[in-house]
Amino acid sequence: MKAGGSLPAGEGELVVQGEDLGVWIAAQRAGWDKLMPAQRYLLETLGIEPPAEGQTLGPVRRSQDERWNTDFASARQFHAREGHLRPLVSTSN
């Protein structure tokens, strides 16, 4: 946003570290009444507004193929950033 970007209007437009920001924004708006005032304020500073009065937002449903594509895109981003696909394994047992 600081660099002149804009918030995604729908799902699949922007995925960052495996999180579809369009889906995340829709979820925040759908659960607006359950958020704390500080959370609402922070979302509003980003330009995320509550749903209009009387507007109901349901959960975003995604097919198995859509979830697979999102996960695959996340793996590609991770590989490009880290150079491998090996998960971090804890040895503190």
Residue 53 belongs to a domain: yes
Q: Where are the alpha helices (H) located in the chain, listed in sequence order?
A: 21-30, 37-45, 64-82
Residue 10 belongs to a domain: no
Q: How many domains does the chain have?
A: 1
Q: Supply the pTM of this predicted model.
A: 0.55
Residue 37 belongs to a domain: yes
pLDDT in tens, 6-28: 777 777 777 777 788 888 888 89
Residue 74 belongs to a domain: yes
Q: What are the Cα distances from residue 38, in Å, to 9, 22, 33, 67, 77? A: 23, 21, 12, 31, 32
Q: Which structural domain range is residue 67 located in? A: 15-82
Residue 77 belongs to a domain: yes
pLDDT in tens, 27-78: 898 889 899 999 999 999 988 888 887 666 665 677 888 888 888 888 888 8
